[in-house]
Amino acid sequence: MNLPTLITTSRLLGIPFILWTLEQPTPENRWLCLGIFIIVAATDWLDGYLARKLNQVTDLGKILDPLVDKLLVLAPLLALVEIGEIPAWGVFLILGRELAIAGWRVNQTQISGANLLGKIKTVVQIVAIALLIAPLSPIWETIAIGIFWLAVAITLISGLIYILPPIPSQQTPPNHSS
């Protein structure tokens, strides 16, 4: 197991602490949870950077990284549902998309990394979760909910882009008027 893959799997260690701190959502625990979440989320960037920099991109890493990303996103979202911060049906839409794309990827002959919209989706989800975890003023709570719904929309759109067939490019016929 190379260093980037080890970092990817180490992100899993933060999830129990995130869930534990949200179990008793005092302001202190929420700040602690936010710190843990940000550190763990930042390692998502680090493992990808190191994999490319050290030329250690592997099929295992291509499989594990998105799986760990999904767990890192879904675990706090489910905890936030439990404490009444967000509606379950919004999280269900994210979960449904993630399961559908994971199932779709199983049938692909080549393992590919995330596309740009998939990366944007992950960043928006992380920002939304961070804002939802933090014990902020009511105006920020409203902004956090708005970003959560933006994350839901981007999640669904990026899922459709994965499964819809590509639109063939239209080529201009040659000009024979000369």
Residue 94's CB: how many other CB atoms inside 10 A?
Answer: 22
Would you list the domain boundaries of the chain? Answer: 1-161
Q: What is the C-alpha to C-alpha distance for residues 151 and 154, in angstroms, rounded to an integer?
A: 5
When the pLDDT of each residue in the chain is averaged and rounded to a whole number, the result is 87
The answer on pLDDT for 39 being more than 90 is: yes
Please, which pLDDT band fits residue 149 given cuts at 50, 70 and 90? very high
Residue 172 in this model has a pLDDT that exceeds 60: no
Tell me: domain 1-161, CATH 3.30.1330.40, correct? no
**DSSP state letter for 134:** S
**pLDDT higher for 106 or 127?**
127
